[in-house]
C-alpha cells in the first residue's frame, strides 16, 4: 500500500487517480500554493510584440496569466514560440494555433536552451514570460549569447494553508509527496515540522535543483521522476520504490 499526496497542479492527475485505483494505492490532492496574477506593464513589451521575436512561456501559468497580450501574439506571424514541455505546447496550440518548440523529453530549461541555440539566429530578440519566482537561467544564458532579452512576470505563488495535511498522512505506509515548485516544497517542509507523529515521508520531484537550500530533516527519501512521464510510468516508478 502507498499513499500519494499531490501538492502541485499536474496535468496527469486524473490519469494518476485511475492507475492508483488499479494498483490499490490512495491518492489525494491539496494545493500547497495559490497562483495569483501580477500586474505587468504592457507598454514595456508592446513594440517587441509587433516585431520579429522569440517568445518563451516558462510554464502553463505563464500562458494562463498573459491573456492581455494573446491577441497581439496571434496577429504576428513573425513570432516563434517556445515552451518547456508538451502540456504547455498543447495549450499554446489550442490558444494560438501555433506549434511551439519544446524538448521532446526531459522538460527543462537546459534542454530548451539547446533547442534555442539550434533554431535562433545571431542577435535575436527574446521575450520570456514567467512567474515572479521563476528561474532566471534562460534569461542569463540567452543574454550571454548576445541576444536581446525582455522578461515579464505575470503571476506569483502564494503559500496555502496546509493544516489539513495531517489528516491525509498515513502512519503505516509510505507517504509520497508530489511537488513541482520550490515555494510548494518550502510550505510542505514547514508543515511537516508541525506534525509530530513518525511517518515515512518521501518526496517526489522533477529534479534535485528543487531541494537546494531546503531543510530535509522530516523527509526520509527523495525520488526524482522526470515531469515528461505519463501516469502509468509515474505510478510504476513509485510502486517500484515502495516495494524496494
Whether 149 shows a pLDDT value over 80: the answer reads yes
pLDDT band at 199 (very low <50, low <70, confident <90, very high): confident
Q: Helix axis angle, 13-22 relative to 231-243, nearest 10°?
A: 50
Task: Determine the Cα–Cα distance for residues 200 and 78; give it in Å rounded to an integer.
Answer: 52
pLDDT in tens, 14-38: 999 999 999 999 999 999 999 999 9
Per-residue pLDDT reduced to its tens digit, 86-137 = 999 999 999 999 999 999 888 889 999 999 998 888 889 999 999 998 899 9
Q: How confident is the model over 168-178, as a mean pLDDT?
A: 95
Which segments within the chain are labelled E, that is strand?
Answer: 2-6, 26-29, 33-37, 54-57, 80-83, 125-131, 148-159, 174-178, 200-205, 221-224
50 and 137 housed in the same domain:
yes
Q: What is the pLDDT, as a whole number, of residue 195?
A: 87
Asked if residue 54 and residue 139 are part of one domain, the reply reads yes
Reading the block at residue 132, the C-alpha cell is 515572479
Average pLDDT for 178-192 = 95
Domain limit, last residue, from 131, 157, 183: 157
Q: What are phi and psi of 128, to 5 degrees?
A: -105, 125
Q: How far apart are CA 226 and CA 103, in angstroms?
A: 12
Instruction: Please report, for the domain that includes residue 18, its CATH number.
Output: 3.40.50.10090
pTM of the model: 0.89
What is the domain extent for residue 188? 2-32+160-243
Amino acid at each position: 500500500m502507498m499513499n500519494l499526496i499531490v501538492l502541485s497542479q499536474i496535468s496527469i492527475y486524473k490519469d494518476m487517480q485511475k492507475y492508483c485505483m488499479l494498483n490499490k494505492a490512495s491518492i489525494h490532492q491539496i494545493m500547497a500554493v495559490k497562483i495569483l496574477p501580477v500586474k505587468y506593464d504592457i507598454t514595456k513589451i508592446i513594440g517587441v510584440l509587433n516585431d520579429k521575436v522569440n517568445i518563451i512561456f516558462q510554464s502553463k501559468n505563464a500562458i494562463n496569466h498573459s491573456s492581455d497580450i494573446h491577441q497581439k501574439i496571434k496577429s504576428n506571424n513573425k513570432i516563434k514560440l517556445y515552451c518547456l514541455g508538451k502540456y504547455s505546447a498543447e495549450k499554446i496550440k489550442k490558444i494560438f494555433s501555433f506549434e511551439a518548440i519544446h524538448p521532446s523529453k526531459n522538460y527543462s530549461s537546459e534542454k530548451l536552451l539547446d533547442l534555442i541555440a539550434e533554431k535562433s539566429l545571431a542577435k535575436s530578440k527574446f521575450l520570456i514570460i514567467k512567474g515572479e519566482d521563476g528561474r532566471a537561467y534562460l534569461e542569463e544564458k540567452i543574454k550571454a549569447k548576445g541576444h536581446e532579452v525582455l522578461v515579464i512576470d505575470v503571476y506569483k505563488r502564494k503559500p496555502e494553508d496546509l493544516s489539513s495535511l495531517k489528516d491525509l498522512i498515513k502512519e503505516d505506509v509510505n507517504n509520497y509527496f508530489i511537488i513541482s515548485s520550490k515555494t510548494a516544497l518550502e510550505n510542505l517542509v514547514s508543515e511537516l515540522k508541525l506534525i509530530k507523529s513518525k511517518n515515512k515521508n518521501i518526496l517526489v520531484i522533477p529534479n534535485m535543483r528543487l531541494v537546494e537550500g531546503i531543510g530535509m530533516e522530516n523527509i526520509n527519501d527523495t525520488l526524482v521522476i522526470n515531469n515528461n512521464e505519463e501516469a502509468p510510468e509515474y505510478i510504476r516508478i513509485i510502486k517500484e520504490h515502495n516495494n524496494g
